[in-house]
Amino acid sequence: MTDSADDYEDDRFASAGLRLTVDLAALTENWRDMARRSGKARAAAVVKADAYGTGIEDAGEALYLAGARDFFVATVDEGVTLRLYAPEARIFVLAGIWPGTERRFFENDLVPVISSEEQLAFWMAVLADYGDYPCALHVDTGFNRLGLAMDDAIALADDVSRPASFSPVLVMSHLACGDDHSSPMNRQQLESFRSVSDAYEGIDSSLAASAGVFLGSDYHFDMTRPGISLYGGEAVNGMANPMRPVVTAEARVIQVRTVRAGESVSYGRAMKLTRDSRLAIVSAGYADGYMRSQSSGGVPLRQVLPQGGQGFIAGRKVPVAGRITMDLTIFDVTDLPDNAVVAGDYVELFGKNVAVDDVARASGTIGYEILTSMGLRHERRHLSEDD
């Protein structure tokens, strides 16, 4: 890129209504941390959904350079993109393979995760034409989402009639309640998965996503599959989050207005001001993934009575005032000194001062959904170790 193009990018970031900063050094440090916590197991990196909204190109490349050699994406298109940034890595495609996508798998050296009888039948037919090629097998141990039935998977392991070119390199399953360490479901799925893993002796096995890594070494097998922890989100309910924040979202203050006690704010007059107030009108709304369910405390929405979200500006947290709208959110900055907030300043929506999971809690959802919903209209900047 030329200097002038760089300048142009910088200007766009400096003037953006909504901007995201992705700290790639924190991302790779989180991956190393999860790799250490995975003990003897190899840590893969899950980069589906544009690397949880951080940008699969930059995030994938940074993780690859940090040493990750196993990646999981959801779709074949994500795999094709990632291949450019992770040349020697093994890339698993969780959605598996469908007729018409074979060529993209082979040309980009992507490994399909076979997760149903239909996919397995199709895969066997593909192998008859194309010859030996790796795959992974996803076995359902109680989640009841994707996966071969356990009995079928175990029978397949010993099936002498299966084609010699059928060569799974990984058997995997997924925990339903990994985020709840008190759930007996974890042990049940562990026992089930052990019988699958034993049947596929000599082939790598994998059970743990981020939350499973924290469940301990029983759950690690040969490979772990952390996603959310890499991006700084909470994986386990009720546990202090040890990961570094990776994403900072900031929205520009378009206007600061003074409003009299007794007046109301935003749609539906849902919030009445009880004191003279200063309000910062900020350039992000629910169309940007800043969810309306975070509308301020006591504001009736269709389904929930929210507790109210908070932003961070001029050294302190400030509450959302009234309903969040499509493109704009209002923050009450009355408790800050006069002129502490002026038009053009940025409010941190989440980042180092407001945890993405606090935004999620205020929105009635999880950090995963906040990170992957910020997609439409932001400028994104990636910081590397040198920045």
Contact status, residue 248 vs residue 348, Cβ threshold 8 Å:
yes
**Residues in 72-131 that interact with ligand PLP by CB under 6 A:** 94
Nearer to ligand PLP, 51 or 281 (CB): 51
Least separation in angstroms between residue 62's CB and ligand PLP is 17
Active site (annotated) includes residue 40: no
By beta-carbon distance, which residue lies closest to ligand PLP? 227
Q: Which x/- pattern over 173-192 shows residues binding ligand PLP (rule: CB under 6 A)?
A: -x------------------
Cβ within 8 Å of residue 350, ≥6 positions away: 247, 248, 249, 356, 358, 359, 370
Burial class (CB in 10 A: 0-12, 13-18, 19+), 225: buried
The correct pick among 55, 227, 319, 351 for binding ligand PLP (CB under 6 A) is: 227
The correct pick among 225, 252, 292, 378 for binding ligand PLP (CB under 6 A) is: 225
Contact status, residue 383 vs residue 15, Cβ threshold 8 Å:
no
Active site (annotated) includes residue 85: no
Least separation in angstroms between residue 160's CB and ligand PLP is 30
The correct pick among 26, 228, 356, 370 for binding ligand PLP (CB under 6 A) is: 228
Q: Where do runs of H (alpha helix) occur along the chain?
A: 3-15, 24-37, 48-53, 56-66, 76-83, 102-107, 117-130, 150-157, 185-199, 210-214, 356-363, 367-373
Q: Which among 48, 200, 219, 290 is annotated as catalytic?
A: 48
Nearer to ligand PLP, 41 or 299 (CB): 41
Which helix (H) or strand (E) element contains residue 277?
strand 277-282
- Other CB atoms within a 10 A radius of the CB of residue 364 amount to 16
d(CA 242, CA 234): 8
Decide: is 226 part of the binding site for ligand PLP (CB under 6 A). yes
Least separation in angstroms between residue 93's CB and ligand PLP is 11
The correct pick among 209, 299, 356, 360 for binding ligand PLP (CB under 6 A) is: 209
Decide: is 245 part of the binding site for ligand PLP (CB under 6 A). no
Contact status, residue 139 vs residue 153, Cβ threshold 8 Å:
yes
d(CA 314, CA 262): 26
Q: Which of 108, 23, 89, 138 is nearest to 387 (CA)?
A: 23
Least separation in angstroms between residue 235's CB and ligand PLP is 6
| CA atoms in the 13 A half-sphere facing the CB of 219 | 25
Q: Which among 8, 52, 85, 267 is annotated as catalytic?
A: 267
**Residues in 363-382 that interact with ligand PLP by CB under 6 A:** none
State the catalytic residues.
48, 267
Where along the sequence are the contacts to ligand PLP (CB under 6 A)?
46, 48, 94, 174, 209-211, 225-229, 235
